[in-house]
Amino acid sequence: MTRDLRVQAKADYIASLSHASPLAAIEELVWNALDADAREVRIDLVQNGLGGIDAVRISDDGTGIALDGVERTFGGLGGSWKREDGAVSAGKRHLHGRHGRGRFKAFALGCHVAWNTTFDAGKGLKSYAVSGDLEEPGVFHLDETATGPATGTEVLITNVRANANALADAGWVVSTLAAKFALYLKSYPNVRIYFGGLPVTPVIVQKACTAYTLRLETGAEAKFEVIEWRRRFPGAGRLVFCGADGFSLYDLPAGVRPGAPFCFTAYLVGARFDALAAENALIMDELNPETRAYLDAARKTLRDHFKVRAAEEDAQRLQQWIDEGSYPFARDDAGPARAAFDARVADMRANLEGFDALPASERKYLFNVLLKIEG
């Protein structure tokens, strides 16, 4: 069986959805898999001998796309069933998709996309493929295929765009995806995401996680989690509004500078944010009084948090220097000479890259030189 499915939307609008960043496209395809109750999602790059990317493959072990729902999935734009209040997956997970357009972001990765899916037809498994090309936006071709061994979906993107080569930086991709899916993965600990065989898990890439409860003057409350990351990456330093089950609804710059040692993402979590998102109140930022109140409380908590964390880091670093014998003062020395010395050391650390990674002998030598200058 072969037939065409046509999306009821203007071709230029469909094409505009393909202008997302490669990583945003990956995120949407992962969310589609998770909304299909996938317990394992794998993202793999098919690279050529020169290191370029020939194809991107996202595969999952979810429920697949039932054939009687293919028209709804690929034939319409904007009327996603996931918008229904309280909509959950067959596995009772809360759903991320809302607009019925995430699948089109796959074209941000490449000009040709094929979905190969297997689902439970009631009397056994059944498989088919749906494919589309950006040169013919809005038209998808459906073909029945040999039945796969288990339910699930594989999305294969070929004729890859040049900007997809940014995905070759596996460390950056894993860190960014870990930040995006951190709370969802905590809510559903049996879910696994892999990029190029590397596990996408906050536990591996996070340095610390601190939980707070924000209380507004109105009496409203929200969970607030601050995750500090082991490495810096683009997209960090943001405040993320999340629904009760941890998927992102809206994010914006945190507007707080924690200092050079810290790279973080902060999450405001609560059922109330689902309602605010539906009212388009979150995207109004400070223009909406309730959203502004949550932002103000979150930013105050962040500033207090990093004051405490900076003091803790300073104390740990000082203890390290004392233990290694490089620091020339006793811990309980509170004289002006030590204060002047510590100020100089702070300047040195700020301007000398890699200072904290120096061997103890080199650090001791620098401290002695600095002490003589101060003397």
**Distance between CA atoms of residues 1 and 139, nearest Å:** 16
Taking Cα atoms as reference points, which of 319, 304, 313, 206 lies closest to residue 264? 206
Number of CB atoms found within 10 A of residue 291's CB:
22
DSSP calls for 213-245? EEE-TTS-EEEEEEEEESS--TT-SEEEEE-TT
According to the model, what pLDDT value does residue 144 have?
85
Answer whether residue 146 shows pLDDT above 60: yes
Mean pLDDT confidence for 86-113: 68
Answer whether residue 84 shows pLDDT above 70: no
**Distance between CA atoms of residues 74 and 77, nearest Å:** 8
Mean pLDDT confidence for 201-206: 83
Answer whether residue 78 shows pLDDT above 60: no
Q: pLDDT tens-digit profile of 14-44?
A: 667 777 889 989 999 999 999 899 999 999 9
Residues 6+ apart with CB under 8 A from 146: 127
Mean pLDDT confidence for 140-149: 88
Q: What percent of the chain has pLDDT over 70?
A: 88
Q: Which residue has the higher pLDDT, 298 or 148?
A: 298
Number of CB atoms found within 10 A of residue 70's CB:
19
According to the model, what pLDDT value does residue 67 have?
84
Task: Average the pLDDT over each of 110-114, 223-227, 322-326, 367-371 and give the range with the smallest value.
Answer: 367-371
**Distance between CA atoms of residues 201 and 186, nearest Å:** 9
According to the model, what pLDDT value does residue 83 have?
44
DSSP calls for 36-74? TT-SEEEEEEEE-TTS-EEEEEEEE-S----GGGHHHHH
Is the distance from CB of 177 to CB of 154 less than 8 angstroms? no
The secondary element (H helix, E strand) that includes residue 247 is none
Q: Which of 89-93, 152-156, 244-248, 285-289 has the highest mean pLDDT?
A: 152-156
Average pLDDT, the chain: 86
Across the chain, the runs of DSSP E, i.e. the strands, are 2-6, 40-47, 53-60, 110-120, 125-133, 139-144, 152-160, 192-195, 198-199, 206-215, 221-229, 238-242, 248-253, 264-269
According to the model, what pLDDT value does residue 319 have?
92
Mean pLDDT confidence for 164-193: 89
**Distance between CA atoms of residues 156 and 264, nearest Å:** 33
